[in-house]
Amino acid sequence: MTNPHNTSLFHQLYQLALLTSLWLVLLPAPALAQVVSDSLKTNTLLADTALVKKPADSRDSYLRKGNLRRGIIMPTILIGAGLLVIDNNLYDRQDARYDLRIKSFPRFNTNIDDYLFFAPAVGLVAFDIFSSQNRHDFRRQIGLLAASGALSSAIMWPMKKVTDVDRPNGKRYAFPSGHTTYAFVVATMVSREFRGKSKWIGIGSYTIASATGVMRILNDAHWLSDVLAGAGVGILSTNLVYLAHDRWFKNKGLNSQLMPTILPNGALGLGMVFHLN
């Protein structure tokens, strides 16, 4: 005889897998879009060897028009979707919470999402140790990551204060999700650094970031709108930092210095100051 508890657990796991799969179709789009674009370019060149080869673009690939457009438009759409889902007559954050949390996973509870978004950063260090195909040396990567985190914080924290949206669990400052923002900062950086090594590195990083966002919803810590906007802020911040770096600081020297600082929540922390030579 089948155990009803096991059947219910299996059904919940199936729903979680389905939900995550649908989420991954949407959010890893920056990595997948680049894969498709690169494949089309390669196939076009192979199909017609008689074409006159154009001079190589001296700019970094990210500064080219198509990449720049994708790097700005995709996260902007995510932020806009987050704003739209807050309240509308078709399907808003309350509907999403009912479908995902109340109806499907009412007893879901984990703290994995507090640590999961660090996983791509660990992978970044591992790739630096065992691979030579990273775009920048480790010191410059630290600078890019710190700058991306600082810019995302400068966007995210004022948005939290201004909107002052209550979380599903009753706590304040829901919009946008900080966990999701930082998860996508790290994921986007890993994708930028190691896209030339394997397309699956970027896809895997965005998958982990997406899983972080899904768990924030299932833990009743955030609305769907918070997570969508957080993903957009994280991707946009990192893309803007890479754009600025490749445009103005690519060939500059970089020195770093740790200094004490006060975090937006009032806690004492460490800040990193960078000097460009």
Q: Is position 8 within any domain? A: no
In 3D space, the residue among 187, 161, 177, 158 whose CA is nearest the CA of residue 224 turns out to be: 177
Average pLDDT over residues 241-259: 67
Q: Quick check: is 44 in a domain?
A: no
83 pLDDT above the threshold of 80? yes
pLDDT of residue 194: 83
Residue 269 counted as domain residue: no
pLDDT confidence tier of residue 195, bands split at 50, 70 and 90: confident
Task: Look at residue 123 and tell me if it is in a domain.
Answer: yes
Residue 260 lies in a domain: no
DSSP 20-31: HHHHHHHTTHHH
Could you tell me the CATH number of the domain that includes residue 149?
Answer: 1.20.144
pLDDT of 211 over the 80 cut: yes
268-274 mean pLDDT: 53
Establish if 28 belongs to a structural domain.
yes
Taking all residues of the chain, what is their mean pLDDT, rounded to a whole number? 77
pLDDT for 18: 47
The domain of 81 spans 20-36+59-252
In a domain, 225, yes or no: yes
- Number of structural domains the chain divides into: 1
Quick check: 45 and 51 in contact, CB under 8 A?
A: yes
Q: How confident is the model at residue 124 (pLDDT cuts 50, 70, 90)?
A: confident
Please name the residue that has the structure tokens 């807050």.
86
Write out pLDDT tens, residues 42-73.
Answer: 444 444 444 444 444 444 555 555 666 778 99
Instruction: Determine, yes or no, domain membership for 69.
Output: yes
